[in-house]
Amino acid sequence: MSAQHAGDLYGEMFLAAQEQAAKPSRLETWKKLWPGLAICGIASIAAAWLSEHYGAPIILMGLLIGLSLNFVTSDTRTHPGLDFASKACLRWGIVVLGTQVTLAQIVALGPVPFLALLMVMAAAMGAALLVARMTGASTAIGILAGGATAICGASAALALFGVLGGKRISQAQFALTLVVISMASALAMSFYPPLAGMMHLDDRQAGFLIGASIHDVAQAIGGGYAYSDVAGSYATIVKLSRVALLAPVVAVVSLIFTDEDAGQRHWIRKLAMPWFITLFLAVVVINSLVTIPPFVVHLNLTLSKALLLLAVTATAMRSRLDLVMQMGWRAAMPVVAATLASLLVATAFSMVIL
């Protein structure tokens, strides 16, 4: 071997060794993540305990506990773990949520109810965008509020926020949106079943109304079964059909709101969905083709809830409570408008078409 080639080989080996030394080990990475993850995990366990013993919505408990503990972010050692929980746990929670949906459930809904469901979702998003414009908020805030209300509450809000990003929506605005969505969903679960009874809706009509207008998955299903078993089954199909539409909605939003810092993207790159939404769709397809044992489906639902709870709690901890308090009632109005619009349109379709 010539001296020149030997020198080149030594240089490459030296650079490779430098890169390996600069790359942190897995143990060092977990040491950095541990403080934030530990605090977030303890807060999430507390939220789960309160939800189980007092019947409060678990996401709302995670939000409130996270906001009350936001002072922990003054210690920079918590930042890596909280960032990991708010991003990685969110994305994998969305992926695992795909195990709850099959294409057969959407087909079983039928063309007319499915079109009615699309109209309910469009009304929610349109109302949120309109009120956001009226209150001086940005289009991104309207899409966040409308999309979260139209699809599946906090889960959809987290997914949309992952696409829209902190440049368009502040952490304070996002935290307030999550709080209002969770509170609206809890109130809807309590009031919509009695409302359906007062209107003398049959089981199928009540199931559509509840499944099409309550934000959170668990609360929509719970509200349906609070009316009757038949209404609960139909509300489950309607609600999971909304969840399945998470992927196309997020894909359209990511196509419209391109990264401004990336310049002009290639059209193929612009059409690419976020990786976790692509995996969500893949899981839905696999779940539609392969029969998964019920205990595995239940386990995956628990895992998805746990990951999303960690993401919500970490996001709340990273939010400045003083900014949330300063935002005022106008910042909550897009969610309120979307909630009322979805209720009114779902009620009209359940009484006229079904």
Confidence of residue 248 (pLDDT cuts 50, 70, 90): confident
Nearest residue to 148 (alpha-carbon basis) of 59, 209, 18, 265: 59
pLDDT (tens digit per residue) in 283-329: 888 888 888 888 888 888 888 888 888 888 887 787 766 666 666 67
pLDDT value, residue 29: 76
pLDDT value, residue 262: 46
pLDDT of 21 above 60: no
pLDDT (tens digit per residue) in 47-74: 999 988 887 778 778 878 888 888 888 8
pLDDT (tens digit per residue) in 86-145: 878 878 887 887 887 778 877 877 888 889 999 999 999 999 999 999 988 888 899 999
pLDDT of 4 above 60: no
| Lowest-confidence pick of 31-35, 185-189, 208-212 | 185-189
Helix (H) and strand (E) counts for the chain? 19, 0
Nearest residue to 100 (alpha-carbon basis) of 338, 308, 349: 308
pLDDT of 22 above 60: no
Across all residues in the chain, what is the average pLDDT? Answer: 80
Q: Across 204-325, where does the E strand assignment appear?
A: none
| HEC string for 274-287 | CHHHHHHHHHHHHH
Q: Is 234 exposed, middle or buried (0-12, 13-18, 19+ CB in 10 A)?
A: buried
Distance CA 218, CA 221 (A): 5
Beta-carbon neighbour count of residue 145 at 10 Å?
A: 35
The three-point CA angle 272-276-281 to 5° equals: 80
Distance CA 263, CA 215 (A): 36
Q: What is the largest CA-CA distance in the chain?
A: 92
pLDDT (tens digit per residue) in 341-351: 999 999 999 88
pLDDT of 269 above 80: no
